[in-house]
Structure 1
Amino acid sequence: MATQKLYAGAKLRELRGRVRLTQKAFALKLGVSLPYLNQMENNNRPISAGVVLALASEFGLDVTELTTGDAERIVTDMREALADPVFTAQPPVADLRLAASNAPALARAFLDLHRAYRQSHERLASLDEALGRDGTPLAPSPWEEVRDFFHYCDNYIDAIDHAAEHYATAQGPDIAIETTALATLARLNINVSLSNTTDLRHFDPQTNHLALSGRVTATTRRFQLLHQVALLTQNDLLEATLDLAQFHSPAARSIAKIGLANYFAGAALMPYTAFLAAADAQRHDLERLADIFDTSIEQVAHRLSTLQRPGAKGVPFFFVRVDQAGTVTKRHSATKFQFARFGGACPLWNVHQAFELPGRFLRQLAETPDGVRYVCLARDVSKSGGAFGAPVRRYAIGLGVEIAHADRLVYADGLDLRGRFEPIGISCRICERPDCHQRSVPPLEKRLSVDPDRRGVIPYDINPA
């Protein structure tokens, strides 16, 4: 089997800018000629094994960074955008990969433009008065902008992760994180109490009083306690991270700050080094890890998807949370698995079945249209309102790894990894499978044949060409 050539021009340019070297000086460090470096940076030549070794030895680069990153995510996002009926044809995937690798900024600008178009179209359809008000240009919704920020950061924020780990371990391994957090707030003269309100957390800076809900689980209260600690003690770090992100609106910045404080809380509950070791020792058993770190199953699943620290990466997971309508409310993939930016997840994916079988872990062997195979895990994570008659929030989480890592996952035990894999996709609009019985709309990049005298499972045939 031929070895796939490695093209990573954008990564090379990014590294050279980071270390502030000219092309000539950078080429000298790598032991190549200036024209050769120029060709590699423009993806006219693949990166050789010698250059990969030089990058690792001279600059301490984690070489796995060269084969991961934004390119495949951008390609998937562009394919989905170009499947919109407004486009009459879709460029070849090879062209999309070229754009994602050589001109990622241009590719993202295209995605921003398409998102603005969709927003204007949806607002017009719903007669939203905000459309074009006072000539204000359309911008990505704050929620989408923040979601994409974490998505393209691989859901790993290095500085905040290290800060949380230091905070959690500075007092010693035997000191409970809740004890540390309460001591921190006491030093800040902040009183903490339990309340009977529906607010999970309410901090009053005028009275220095923090009220935590007594209706929720202890794991949720602990998380909210650490969230407040992050806001009060890590504000400079959070603000510096937000400055680098350059969000388009104050609303997006505010939402992102909540997300970063949540990140700190999760990383403090499950410090990176200790959690990585425990996850490997327990073969990623969510229930065992939840017991060890006194957290919820959802918190563990989310944390597993963030183990992307350079030089100490964990098993690459994808993680998603969906509601009962199939809408993706959280998403992240450290694998090749990608999620639809618009609409719901593939109906053949087992995450939807979790609502039907609450309290059980559902396993699935699945294969995406690109031929990559996964072990998928799904479970409901319904959240009680904390009182009789209070509304219950119902969600399901999905977690999975590529089949190559199955031996490190306890949930793969007993599965026939050479058996049948369920064919799942990303979005019906870009899924090329011709025989899917759950297809909701035809793939817009394929030609259809409609025979009025014949009716199959779906009312049309998809031509392969």
Structure 2
Amino acid sequence: MRSGKLYIGRKIREIRGTAKLTQTAFADRLGISTTYLNQIENNQRPVSAAVLVLLAERFGIDFSSISANDSDRMISMLTEALADPVFAAYTPSFQELKLIAQNAPSFAQALLNCHQAYRRNSEQLASLDGHLGSWTAEPTPYEEVRDFFHFVDNYIHDLDVSAEKLTQDLDIPSSDTSLALAKYLEARHDLKIGRTSPGDSALRRFDRSSKTLFLNPYLPAATRSFQMAFQIAALEHEEQVEKIAERAQFRTAGAREVCKAGLRNYFAGATILPYQPFLATAKDLRHDLELIAARFGASLEQVAHRLSTLQRPSQKGVPVFFARVDRAGNITKRHSAAKLQFARYGAACPLWNVHQAFESPSRIIRQLAETPDGVRFLCIATELAKGHGGYGTPRPRYAIALGCEISYARDFVYADGLDLMSKTAYDPIGISCRICERGSCPQRAVPPLKSNLTVHPDRRDILPYDIS
């Protein structure tokens, strides 16, 4: 959805198909002409506010479920894929991409899958050093699962509702979460909580024969609660988990198992941070990560990740992006309900403040940023050290990033004191150098794909070439 207009022809056709109505009958129910309905369904005209109201009244359609976020994400991914030199002869307009994303999303996904396979083959072939080996065009299980969560908006309704019911029964978060979960496991499953042995690096280990859940004694309280909630998912919601993973139709058993682990993790996060209390608290505290974490006894990463899952129909939170980045710049977790999408290949933009977080451990860094398409964001980032144990124990360091489009910035305490109206207050960032169109960026690592380069023998600027 750009420039305020909503083109949702495919969704209107789906609604009409569910109602089993012809175009004429459906138009009559809405009080509009068949010609107008036909134009809406073919994305020749946007849906008006009046038609949206009629859809809600006469077909029970939730406004929040009619969103262009899916199309925006698809357009972003298509733009990146089609910037590859293999498509050098074809440069689609934004309107073309929008029509494909809205009217033929399955075809668009198939194209993206083909491009991903091509990229993997190219990278594997390039890495061969003369030795023949086996290689595959199939995505890795991790990539398959990452894409699954991306396309369901990182929200799993059935598991989220089940987790929330459990927290209501246990009076979480009003009661001590760890204590409540431990008592529940004992009362419901006759399961004891024990400690792992010295030298055992496992965070959690379940012994079925003794019905004991062993937890590492050095885990933070938030992690202990999470691991107990994970075990409840494994004991009580495996049928739900199996059905969701089955519906995803993964290519391999490995991907299905990775997804099932991710779904149990999802249930655990939704248990320690139950949807409605968490959403209300986030609004009341203006998304202050530290205060929210203290309120629920959770970690900053758990809070930031949970904010990215608030996509329940009719009860959505602020659309945010969330990412976790290691010191090498690898994005190890990612999700975006906002227009900012993360690069699927290559590193993230070096001008993004998430990289600066490593220079200021434990501090929350703010940034106003603008992407090449003119969309502005409030970005926050902070560095975290993970791990447990005493002196000499490895402690991986990460930075987490969270942000929203500037129209939502006032809902965040981190916007206080920033001049949101000043153009000079915004740092120019991109998605990745390979698709960023900024020609004079001093941090550019590689030229953008599909660009013409000019090298001047008698002049050298910050970049050794001009981009046109």
TM-score of the pair, normalised by structure 1: 0.93
Check the 8 A contact 1:198/1:215 in 2, yes or no. no
Per the TM alignment, residue 61 of structure 1 is displaced from its structure 2 partner at its CA by 2.3
Distance 1:404 1:340 in 2: 23
Q: Judging changes above 3 Å, is the alpha-carbon distance between structure 1 residues 247 and 31 closer, same or farther for their aligned structure 2 residues?
A: farther
Q: Secondary structure at the match of 2:5?
A: coil
Check the 8 A contact 2:148/2:248 in 1, yes or no. yes
Check the 8 A contact 1:320/1:332 in 2, yes or no. yes
Equivalent residue number for residue 222 of structure 1: 225
Distance 1:300 1:423 in 2: 27
Q: Secondary structure at the match of 2:321?
A: strand
Report the more deviating stretch, 202-211 or 106-115: 202-211
Distance 2:265 2:26 in 1: 39
Report the more deviating stretch, 251-260 or 165-174: 165-174
Corresponding position: 1:158 with 2:162: no
Equivalent residue number for residue 394 of structure 1: 397
Q: Judging changes above 3 Å, is the alpha-carbon distance between structure 1 residues 123 and 19 closer, same or farther for their aligned structure 2 residues?
A: farther
Tell me which amino acid in the other structure corresponds to 2:223.
Answer: T
Distance 1:18 1:194 in 2: 53
Corresponding position: 1:429 with 2:434: yes
Report the more deviating stretch, 69-78 or 358-367: 69-78
- Please list the CA deviations of residues 365-385 of structure 1 after superposition, one character each: whole Å capped at 9, or x if unmatched: 111111111111000011134
Equivalent residue number for residue 235 of structure 1: 238
Q: Judging changes above 3 Å, is the alpha-carbon distance between structure 1 residues 241 and 362 closer, same or farther for their aligned structure 2 residues?
A: same
Q: Judging changes above 3 Å, is the alpha-carbon distance between structure 1 residues 3 and 366 closer, same or farther for their aligned structure 2 residues?
A: closer
Report the more deviating stretch, 63-72 or 219-228: 63-72
Equivalent residue number for residue 194 of structure 2: 193
Check the 8 A contact 2:8/2:68 in 1, yes or no. no
Equivalent residue number for residue 117 of structure 1: 118
Distance 1:39 1:15 in 2: 15
Equivalent residue number for residue 106 of structure 2: 105
Check the 8 A contact 2:72/2:339 in 1, yes or no. yes
Q: Pick from 368, 373, 377: which aligns with 2:376?
A: 373
Distance 1:457 1:189 in 2: 67
Equivalent residue number for residue 134 of structure 2: 130
Tell me which amino acid in the other structure corresponds to 2:433.
Answer: C
Equivalent residue number for residue 255 of structure 2: 252
Corresponding position: 1:362 with 2:365: yes
Tell me which amino acid in the other structure corresponds to 1:261.
Answer: R
Q: Secondary structure at the match of 1:375?
A: strand
Q: Judging changes above 3 Å, is the alpha-carbon distance between structure 1 residues 4 and 285 closer, same or farther for their aligned structure 2 residues?
A: closer
Distance 2:253 2:288 in 1: 40
Check the 8 A contact 2:351/2:428 in 1, yes or no. yes
Identity %: 52
Tell me which amino acid in the other structure corresponds to 1:29.
Answer: R
Q: Judging changes above 3 Å, is the alpha-carbon distance between structure 1 residues 24 and 256 closer, same or farther for their aligned structure 2 residues?
A: farther
Check the 8 A contact 2:9/2:40 in 1, yes or no. yes
Check the 8 A contact 2:323/2:334 in 1, yes or no. yes
Equivalent residue number for residue 458 of structure 1: 463
Equivalent residue number for residue 135 of structure 1: none
Check the 8 A contact 1:184/1:229 in 2, yes or no. no
- Please list the CA deviations of residues 188-222 of structure 1 after superposition, one character each: whole Å capped at 9, or x if unmatched: 23222111421111123344222111232111111
Q: Pick from 285, 292, 295: which aligns with 2:295?
A: 292
Equivalent residue number for residue 77 of structure 2: 77
- Please list the CA deviations of residues 282-322 of structure 1 after superposition, one character each: whole Å capped at 9, or x if unmatched: 11111111110000011011111111211111111111110
Check the 8 A contact 2:353/2:366 in 1, yes or no. yes
Q: Judging changes above 3 Å, is the alpha-carbon distance between structure 1 residues 390 and 19 closer, same or farther for their aligned structure 2 residues?
A: farther
Tell me which amino acid in the other structure corresponds to 1:122.
Answer: E
Q: Secondary structure at the match of 1:290?
A: helix
Q: Judging changes above 3 Å, is the alpha-carbon distance between structure 1 residues 124 and 445 closer, same or farther for their aligned structure 2 residues?
A: closer
Q: Secondary structure at the match of 1:332?
A: strand
Distance 2:138 2:20 in 1: 33
Report the more deviating stretch, 4-13 or 451-460: 4-13
Check the 8 A contact 2:69/2:339 in 1, yes or no. no
Q: Judging changes above 3 Å, is the alpha-carbon distance between structure 1 residues 427 and 3 closer, same or farther for their aligned structure 2 residues?
A: closer
Distance 2:273 2:4 in 1: 37
Distance 1:271 1:114 in 2: 38
Distance 1:333 1:63 in 2: 20
Check the 8 A contact 1:376/1:398 in 2, yes or no. yes
Tell me which amino acid in the other structure corresponds to 1:346.
Answer: C
Distance 2:210 2:15 in 1: 48
Equivalent residue number for residue 170 of structure 1: 169
For residues 87-106 of structure 1, the aligned pairs below 5 Å read: 87-89=87-89, 90-106=91-107
Q: Secondary structure at the match of 2:294?
A: helix
Tell me which amino acid in the other structure corresponds to 1:151.
Answer: H
Q: Judging changes above 3 Å, is the alpha-carbon distance between structure 1 residues 20 and 396 closer, same or farther for their aligned structure 2 residues?
A: farther
For residues 252-291 of structure 1, the aligned pairs below 5 Å read: 252-291=255-294
Q: Judging changes above 3 Å, is the alpha-carbon distance between structure 1 residues 5 and 412 closer, same or farther for their aligned structure 2 residues?
A: closer
Check the 8 A contact 1:24/1:34 in 2, yes or no. yes
Distance 1:437 1:122 in 2: 27
Distance 1:221 1:21 in 2: 52
- Please list the CA deviations of residues 331-388 of structure 1 after superposition, one character each: whole Å capped at 9, or x if unmatched: 1111111110112211000000111110101111111111111111000011134232
Tell me which amino acid in the other structure corresponds to 2:170.
Answer: Q
Distance 1:21 1:211 in 2: 57
Q: How big is the alpha-carbon RMSD for the aligned residues of Structure 1 and Structure 2?
A: 1.9
For residues 317-332 of structure 1, the aligned pairs below 5 Å read: 317-332=320-335
Q: Judging changes above 3 Å, is the alpha-carbon distance between structure 1 residues 22 and 330 closer, same or farther for their aligned structure 2 residues?
A: farther
Per the TM alignment, residue 113 of structure 1 is displaced from its structure 2 partner at its CA by 0.3
Q: Secondary structure at the match of 1:384?
A: coil
Tell me which amino acid in the other structure corresponds to 1:96.
Answer: L
Per the TM alignment, residue 418 of structure 1 is displaced from its structure 2 partner at its CA by 2.5
Per the TM alignment, residue 224 of structure 1 is displaced from its structure 2 partner at its CA by 0.9
Report the more deviating stretch, 139-148 or 35-44: 35-44
Tell me which amino acid in the other structure corresponds to 1:11.
Answer: K
Per the TM alignment, residue 3 of structure 1 is displaced from its structure 2 partner at its CA by 6.2
Equivalent residue number for residue 32 of structure 1: 32
Corresponding position: 1:310 with 2:313: yes
Alignment size in residue pairs: 457
Q: Secondary structure at the match of 2:421?
A: coil
